[in-house]
Amino acid sequence: MKHAAILGASGGMGYALVNELIENGFKVTAFARNKAKLERHFGGKDGVAIETGDAYAEGDILKACKGADLIFHTVSVPYPDWTDGHPAIMKNAINAAKAENAKLIIIDNIYAYGMQNGKKVEETAQKSPHTKKGQIRLSLEKMVKESGVSYMILHFPDYYGPNAENTLLHQTLKPISLNKRTIFIGELNRKREYIYTPDGAKAAVALAMKEEAFGQNWNIPGAGVISGKEWMQLFQREGGYTKSVMKVGKRTIWLMGLFDRNMKEMREMMYLYENPVILSGEKYQNFIGPIPATSYEAGIRRTLAYMKHNK
Q: Domains plus CATH for the chain?
A: 3-163+196-222+277-293 (3.40.50.720)
Kindly report, residue by residue over 80-128, the tens digit of the pLDDT: 999 999 999 999 999 999 999 999 999 999 999 998 887 899 999 999 9
Q: How far is CA 65 from CA 51, 98, 254, in A?
A: 9, 11, 41
The answer on pLDDT for 267 being more than 90 is: no
What type of residue sits at position 290? Answer: P
- The helix (H) or strand (E) run that includes residue 234 is helix 228-239
Name the least confident of 101-110, 265-274, 291-300.
265-274
Q: Is the separation of the CB atoms in 138 and 91 below 8 Å?
A: no
Cα–Cα distance measured from residue 133 to residue 284, given in angstroms and rounded to the nearest whole number: 26
At 185, the pLDDT band (50, 70, 90 cuts) reads confident
List, in order, residues 6 or more apart from 176 with CB less than 8 Å away: 182, 235, 239, 241, 243, 304
List, in order, residues 6 or more apart from 114 with CB less than 8 Å away: 127, 128, 129, 130, 131, 134
Q: For 181, which DSSP code?
A: -
What average pLDDT does the structure give for the chain?
92
